[in-house]
Each structure stands twice: as C-alpha cells, then as structure tokens.
Amino acid sequence: MAAWIQAPKGTKDILPKDSENWRLIEDIMRDEAAIHGFQEIRTPVFERTELFERSVGDTTDVVQKEMYTFLDKGNRSISLRPEGTAGAVRALLENALLNEGIPQKLYYLISCYRYENTQEGRQREFHQFGCEAFGTEKPIADAEIIALAHGIFERLGIRGLSLEINSIGCPQCRSKYHETLRTFLEESKEALCHTCLERLDKNPMRILDCKTPSCGEITKDAPIMKDYLCNDCAEHFFAVQSYLDAADIPYKVNTRIVRGLDYYTRTVFEFISGDLGAQSTVCGGGRYDGLVKQMGGAQTPALGFAMGMERLLLVMKAQQIQLPQPAVCRLYIASLGKAAQMKGFALSNMLHHAAIKAECDICDRSLKAQMKYADKIGAMFTLVLGDNELQQNKAELKYMRTGETMPITLGNDFLTEFLAAITQAESLALGSQS
Ligand code: ATP
Ligand code: MG
C-alpha cells in the first residue's frame, strides 16, 4: 500500500470495534470528575512553542526532543500540545477564571503529540484524561485529586495498580538537596548518560528518573529528597498521607518518583501497573505551586494529574475487563421494492424519534442479503415489508432469538405495539435466564 495512505508512524485509528469502549471509559471519567466538582475545559491542539518551553521546561525530554514544532504561515513558532497542563493554565489566566472564585477545578480529555520512539503504550499521538485544581495549597486537595484518579480505576474494575507518592519539596529545600545530590553525582559523572550529564547542572534530581541502567546503578545510593524536606514540606507530605489513610487509599512512598516535567513541587505521584512492561505508568501527577506565577499570574498553588488512555486500555485488556456492550439494534426493517423501502424508512424514523435503535435497508439489497445483515448486527426483531404488507397495513414482527412472530400494524399504533413487543420479549428473556 502506498505510504501516503498509511497512518503516520506512532498514530492509531480508533476503530468502531474499540471506540465504544473508549466512550464508556470517557463517560466514567467525566462522571467521576463531575461528582468531585471538576468542570471540563477545552483548549487548542496547538499553542505558541514558548508556552511549553516556559511551563513544561526546557530541560525536559518533552521540550528538548519530543515536541512537534513548526513555523506557521505567519512565521510564528507553533507546537502541538505535548500535554494538557500548559494550555489549561494559559486559558485560566487569559480568561481570568480565578476571579470567579477558588478553587477552580478543571478536567480535560485530549489528544497529545510527542515525537517518541514508538512501542506498545508509547505513541506519537496519544490521549490523556487530566484534572487540574487551582487555588489551594492544602494537603487535603492533594488527597482529593489522588482520590479522583483512584475512583476512576475502581469504577473501571482495574486491579493491582500501585499508587506511589513522594515529595520533591519546594524551591528552597530542593536547592539544598540539589547541591548535595550534584556533589554525589559529580563523583561518577563519566558513567552518566548524555542526557543526564546535561541535567547535572540544571536539574540533577531528574537523573533519578533516568531509565538508562548505568544511571540507575549510580543513583542507587544517592541522597534522597525526603531527608532534605524543610519543616513545612515535611508536614505537608505527612498530612497528605494522613488524608489518604482516612480515605482508605493504599499507597507506597517511593523516593525515586520525581516526575518528568520541570514544574512540579511537593507532592508527586504515579499509578503504576505490573501489566504494562516498560511503559508502566498509567497516571502521573503532582503539585505545581510555582507555575501559575511563573506564567505571569498571581501566586496560585495548583496541582493535577494526567492519565494515559492508551495505557489504561492496555491494562484493561491484560486484565480482561469487559465493559457493558452497546445497546443492540431493536429492529431491522427489510423491504422488497421501492414502496416498501419507503415505508420501512418512515417506520424506522418513527422509532428514531422515540430514541429506539433501528435500521432499514439503505443498499437496495436482496431480501437474503438484508436478513444476513440483520443477523450480523444482532437485531432483536426483524420486520419484512412487501406489497402484501403495505396493502394490509400489517406485518409479522419476528423475535430473532426464538423465531417467534407476532402481528404488528404499520399505522399510527406501530410505535406503541413495538414498545409492547420489546417489553414482552425482555420479560421472556428474563424468565428464561432465571
Ligand atoms: P513516560 O515516563 O512513560 O515517558 P511521562 O512522564 O513522559 O511518561 P507524563 O508527561 O506524565 O508522562 O504523561 C502522563 C501520562 O500520559 C503517562 O503516565 C502515560 O500514561 C501517558 N503517556 C505519556 N507519554 C505517552 C506516549 N508517548 N504514549 C502513550 N501514553 C503516554
Ligand atoms: Mg515521556
């Protein structure tokens, strides 16, 4: 097949066989966010490149290596969003949402773009569900947002995710830690990978996050942030844990969780799955108390998380989690000849107005082909319309599961009679199950 007719590397079509699952998962996410008082925000797919450089941070992999950046026809540098927080904060500031009161609690379901080495669970276009809360530094807010993510995993029936939390302190206590860590790492500098060598000056803590085995070996005995937290940060971290305990949310403190983006402060967390191999983080998040100010707003503490939809679906597949299937087609109307097809169209329209799933022939196919199609879509009832049926204004409704038929009129009472037939069929089906 010619290359131009293949999807670009790192992208995937979401086909009808899967899109229903996506929709069900998204519905659960929207609902869980809503019951926690979060409201949806929709921001552009692209922003000025500078927005990401200044927020995500120019020492991060995302900005250094992974962004889709181009000049538009007006010579502006534009990037496809690699994540959702930057756009949400920009929109919050530009639209002065904080004037409407705090906390501001936002969620989004978005596509993201990163030029990555593609593998299972790592794509160039992928999707995130994310939540951001602005205007509170209180540890209860950290626990609440973690509880929201946890609630979604529970509702989806996902088992065995490990919640790992850490505190990476505030700029004050972190700078002391950075010094100590830098001194420690300087000693084995030669063995660090190229990227980490660059990080050593600007952001040595990120070296703890490096997946290169030689870097892992060096950082094994490195000093940990937890021992350097100032009193306020230590108390904050302790309180977050107390709230998680109160909500019965199990977690582990993992001092190596530092998160990949520059803007995080204090609490950081990940939900990690054992079912995903190398791409094991399904959800990551944390506090970013300095970001809003750094982007030109007033000092506004904030926090958030993002879940990777594709990784979530991989975990659900590995755990063989089945979601309820979509409503079946209630009626397929087969027809012979133009007049009957017209009648079938009118009747199916009548059902659509009553929000009942129904289909009629739109391909002018033989009766045999139409019935084969009805079978394939699993229609609950079928109706065959020909000249006779039109003349008598009556037809035989066939219940496909048992082959039983019942008469139905094709006039004004059609809808009422059809609804009665569904009720009868459902009670029969219930009866045969018990
Ligand atoms: P990783 O360490 O796996 O590269 P990250 O730290 O870059 O992850 P975040 O920026 O925190 O990821 O994004 C939040 C979530 O989005 C991740 O936990 C993951 O589930 C998902 N995600 C990130 N990058 C990708 C990708 N390229 N393809 C699919 N999902 C992704
Ligand atoms: Mg990454």
pLDDT of the residue at 67? 97
Span from the CA of 281 to the centroid of ligand 2 (angstroms) = 10
CA dihedral 278, 284, 286, 290 (to 10 degrees): 80
pLDDT of the residue at 252? 97
Question: Rounded to an integer, what distance in angstroms lies between the CA atom of residue 25 and that of residue 4?
Answer: 32
Span from the CA of 413 to the centroid of ligand 1 (angstroms) = 55
pLDDT of the residue at 325? 80
Question: Rounded to an integer, what distance in angstroms lies between the CA atom of residue 267 and that of residue 258?
Answer: 9
Our mutation pick for probing the ligand 1 site, out of 125, 132, 279, 288, counting the most ligand atoms within 8 A of Cβ, is 279
> Residue 215 class from Cβ within 10 Å (0-12 exposed, 13-18 middle, 19+ buried)?
buried
pLDDT in tens, 184-241: 999 988 889 988 888 888 889 989 888 888 898 999 999 999 999 999 999 999 999 9
pLDDT of the residue at 212? 87
pLDDT in tens, 29-71: 999 999 999 999 999 999 999 999 999 988 788 988 999 999 9
Span from the CA of 60 to the centroid of ligand 1 (angstroms) = 13
Segment among 38-47, 111-120, 236-245, 419-428 with least mean pLDDT = 419-428
Span from the CA of 62 to the centroid of ligand 2 (angstroms) = 7
Mean pLDDT, the chain, as a whole number? 94
- Which protein residues are within 6 Å of ligand 1, measured from CB? 83, 114, 116, 121-123, 126, 128, 260, 279, 281-284, 306, 308, 310-311
For residue 309, give the ligand nearest its CA: 1
Span from the CA of 374 to the centroid of ligand 1 (angstroms) = 42
Mean pLDDT comparison of 206-210, 327-331, 415-419, highest-scoring range:
415-419
pLDDT of the residue at 405? 95
Span from the CA of 299 to the centroid of ligand 1 (angstroms) = 28
Question: Given its phi and psi angles, is residue 294 left (phi above 0), alpha (psi -120 to 50 degrees) or beta?
Answer: alpha
For residue 123, give the ligand nearest its CA: 1
Length of the chain: 434
Mean pLDDT for 359-370 is: 97
pLDDT of the residue at 432? 64
> Residue 98 class from Cβ within 10 Å (0-12 exposed, 13-18 middle, 19+ buried)?
middle
Q: Where does the pLDDT of residue 313 fall: very low under 50, low under 70, confident under 90, or very high at 90 and above?
A: very high
- Identify the residue whose C-alpha is closest to ligand 1 atom 28: 122
pLDDT of the residue at 430? 65
pLDDT of the residue at 431? 66
Strand 125-134, strand 104-113: pairing: antiparallel
φ/ψ of residue 8, rounded to 5: -60, 150
pLDDT of the residue at 426? 86
pLDDT in tens, 13-31: 999 999 999 999 999 999 9
Q: Where does the pLDDT of residue 263 fall: very low under 50, low under 70, confident under 90, or very high at 90 and above?
A: confident
Question: Rounded to an integer, what distance in angstroms lies between the CA atom of residue 129 and that of residue 138?
Answer: 23
**Percent of the chain whose predicted confidence (pLDDT) is above 70:** 99
For residue 283, give the ligand nearest its CA: 1
pLDDT of the residue at 201? 87
pTM of the predicted model as reported, rounded to 2 decimal places: 0.92
Mean pLDDT for 71-86 is: 98
pLDDT in tens, 143-198: 999 999 999 999 999 999 999 999 999 999 998 999 999 999 999 888 899 888 88
- CB distance 331 to 410 below 8 Å: no
Span from the CA of 88 to the centroid of ligand 1 (angstroms) = 18
Our mutation pick for probing the ligand 1 site, out of 83, 310, 311, 312, counting the most ligand atoms within 8 A of Cβ, is 311
- CB distance 284 to 305 below 8 Å: yes
Q: Where does the pLDDT of residue 284 fall: very low under 50, low under 70, confident under 90, or very high at 90 and above?
A: very high
Segment among 101-105, 133-137, 172-176, 297-301 with least mean pLDDT = 172-176
Instruction: Looking at the CA of residue 282, tell me the nearest atom of ligand 1.
Output: 20
Q: Where does the pLDDT of residue 275 fall: very low under 50, low under 70, confident under 90, or very high at 90 and above?
A: confident
pLDDT in tens, 133-143: 999 999 999 99
pLDDT of the residue at 324? 85
Question: Rounded to an integer, what distance in angstroms lies between the CA atom of residue 61 and that of residue 65?
Answer: 5
Residue 1 vs residue 405, higher pLDDT:
405
> Is the per-residue pLDDT at 418 higher than 70?
yes
For residue 121, give the ligand nearest its CA: 1
